[in-house]
Structure 1
Amino acid sequence: MSRRRLGYLLKHASLRLAEVTGPALEPYGIDGRELAVLTTLDTAEPLSQQEAAQRLGIDRTTMVAMIDALEAKKLVARRPHPGDRRKNAVELTERGHDTLRAAVPAVEEAEERFLASLSGEEARLLRDVLSRLV
């Protein structure tokens, strides 16, 4: 039965999670992928676009498009990289920091609602197992 296949289960769990987290992020004008980029860029030392892409496991072209979109929303800014003038450093703007501070608790609450049918131990175990797989 296809409903027991791992691919089916992971895909549909992901779709269900997106149904919960998407609306939670709407008030902040970002989606889950953009939240991941903002979270990755929230570091003490500025990252280049390439470094951020590597940390997220996405290709350079996709990262450029995502940074362009976040820059248009005034959530990030590109600046010459302090360690290598040939690179751009990408940093959160004040608005980006504010958005991240507000969006993270909203998405965490949405994730808790998504996991509500599991016990606390089951939810922790699910996260642990998925972390090992990823």
Structure 2
Amino acid sequence: MGARHLLEHAQAKPARASAEALAPHGVDGHEPAVLVVLAAGEPLSQVEAAGRLGVDRTTLVSLIDGPEDHGLVVRRRSPQDRRRNIVEPTPERRDCLRRAETARRTAERRFPAPLDEAGAASLVRALQTLVLDAREPESGACP
């Protein structure tokens, strides 16, 4: 198996485990990141939440639609500026989010379990090197 194929399978395994761990809590794989940002402090506008998540406003709207449909968040107009939508987790779902996030982390910790501690640390360092390598690949294009 080539490196790309192995990396794809290595990524899919913890993603699948996370999805399975989140399902009993009524949360899908994308919702925890959105909910963690929204639950971090004072209520955020959609624009502020988009900035913290590093996505554009249109993408954020679609990311919020799912949690809103599941009763995880509410959107409301800002009392200070009617042009702004405030988005925040519903109080009853904050506890659910904590339980779901704990389940997700536990599932993800199982992924490197077949490795000893040194092997797991080596894997993390190797992946960090690959992800953070800023060198541009050679194009190999003919002039």
TM-score between both structures, scaled by the size of structure 2: 0.75
How far apart are residue 97 of structure 1 and its match? 0.2
Give 1:129's aligned residue: 128
How far apart are residue 62 of structure 1 and its match? 2.5
Give 1:3's aligned residue: 2
Summarize deviations over 1:6-37 as a string: whole Å, max 9, x none. xx444332211112111100101111211111
Give 1:12's aligned residue: 9
Distance 2:26 2:42 in 1: 25
Unaligned runs of 5+ in 1: none
How far apart are residue 122 of structure 1 and its match? 4.8
Distance 1:93 1:75 in 2: 6
How far apart are residue 84 of structure 1 and its match? 3.6
Structure with a larger share of its residues in strand: 1
Give 2:61's aligned residue: 64
Distance 2:9 2:81 in 1: 43
Give 2:31's aligned residue: 34
Unaligned runs of 5+ in 2: 133-143
Distance 1:3 1:13 in 2: 12
Distance 1:101-1:122 versus aligned 2 partners, 3 A rule: same
- The runs of 4+ residues in structure 1 deviating greater than 6 Å are none
Summarize deviations over 1:49-107 as a string: whole Å, max 9, x none. 22222222233222212212211211101122355432111101023202211101100
Q: Are 1:101 and 2:98 counterparts?
A: yes
TM-score between both structures, scaled by the size of structure 1: 0.79
Distance 1:84 1:119 in 2: 54
Q: Greater CA radius of gyration, 1 or 2?
A: 2
**SS of equivalent residue, structure 1 residue 89:** strand
Structure with a larger share of its residues in helix: 1
Paired residues in the alignment total: 129
